[in-house]
Amino acid sequence: LGKSEDQLRRWEHPRKRAINNMIEEIGDKELADITADDMLDFRETWGERITAGDALPGTANKDFQHIGNILRTVVKMKRLGLVLPLDGLTFKDDKERTKPPFSVEWIKTKLLAPGALDSLNTEARCILLGMINTGYRPGEAAGLLPHHIRLDGDVPHISIEPEGRQLKNKVSKRVIPLVGVSLEAFRQCPKGFPRYRESSAGLSATVNSFLRENGLLETEEHTLYSLRHSWEDRALAAGIDERVRRDLFGHTLDRERYGEGATLAHKRDVLQAMAL
């Protein structure tokens, strides 16, 4: 509920793919006919791909997670009373695959070098530059509507709202002041980013390809999303209060939230102190 067409498409695709992968291995069976051997055969196929280096444990685990959620939901909602052999199928995944942050030096000397981003299309470039001092998720920027971008008041800011799309969680709904290169970027795109509003996946693909082709990735592991991790590191280094930092970042606070929190002007001031 509440998903945009693009979000719905991206939500459906991995689930359909997981079911199709299972059917390809065990056949198109009635739920009651799925056996433990069927699922172990399916797991074995994934294991062979992982051993050969053709797949990652996390990819297989996502398939099993989607399959389990879908089939258990069908059993529950249809009141079938079946106990399906879906437990104990995932693989141990020892490798943490988090994206590394861009260093401040790299952002300053590479990404913000004169002319470095000139050949990237305007909307993608402005989303990237906006991300540097806001730490927003790329899809959050892509989904901004014109009235979510407020540049004329005392504190220019964006408001990330679940309007026309679904946010990751309830704390993702937030207001972020615009400072530094991010403010300048939004002044270039005051109406938002219609090119990517229904295709945030296309945004990431475009930017990551551009950065890779132009030698602007700090390592092969870096992506556009690394700017979000960089923002968090910079906020920590700047000593921003934990609640303010999490409110701006859209992360859950590990304690009860009391009061209204920091004012918009205060948030602007703390961001200005770390702005690029």
Give yes or no for residue 260 having a pLDDT over 80: no
Contacts of residue 239, Cβ cutoff 8 Å, sequence gap at least 6:
none
Give yes or no for residue 11 having a pLDDT over 80: yes
Give yes or no for residue 271 having a pLDDT over 90: yes
pLDDT in tens, 205-254: 899 999 999 999 999 999 999 999 999 999 999 999 888 888 888 877 65
**What would the mean pLDDT of 188-194 be, rounded to a whole number?**
95
Q: Among 4-13, 18-27, 194-203, which range has the highest average pLDDT? A: 18-27
Tell me if 234 sits within 8 A of 274, measured CB to CB: yes
Contacts of residue 253, Cβ cutoff 8 Å, sequence gap at least 6:
171, 242, 243, 246, 247
**What would the mean pLDDT of 28-36 be, rounded to a whole number?**
92
pLDDT in tens, 43-81: 988 888 887 777 888 889 999 999 999 999 999 999 999
At residue 166, the pLDDT reads 67
Task: State pTM to two decimals.
Answer: 0.69
Separation between Cα atoms, residue 108 and residue 276, nearest integer Å: 8
At position 261, the amino acid (one-letter code) is G
Token duo for residue 14: 């991995």
Q: How would you list the strands of the sheet with 174-177, edge to edge?
A: 149-150, 157-160, 174-177
Separation between Cα atoms, residue 172 and residue 229, nearest integer Å: 16
Place of tokens 């996946």: 201
Q: Give start-end residues of each CATH 1.10.443.10 domain in the chain.
A: 104-272
Give yes or no for residue 255 having a pLDDT over 60: no
pLDDT in tens, 100-156: 999 999 999 999 999 999 999 999 999 999 999 999 999 899 999 999 999 998 999
**What would the mean pLDDT of 167-188 be, rounded to a whole number?**
90
Class of domain 104-272: mainly alpha
Give yes or no for residue 198 having a pLDDT over 90: no
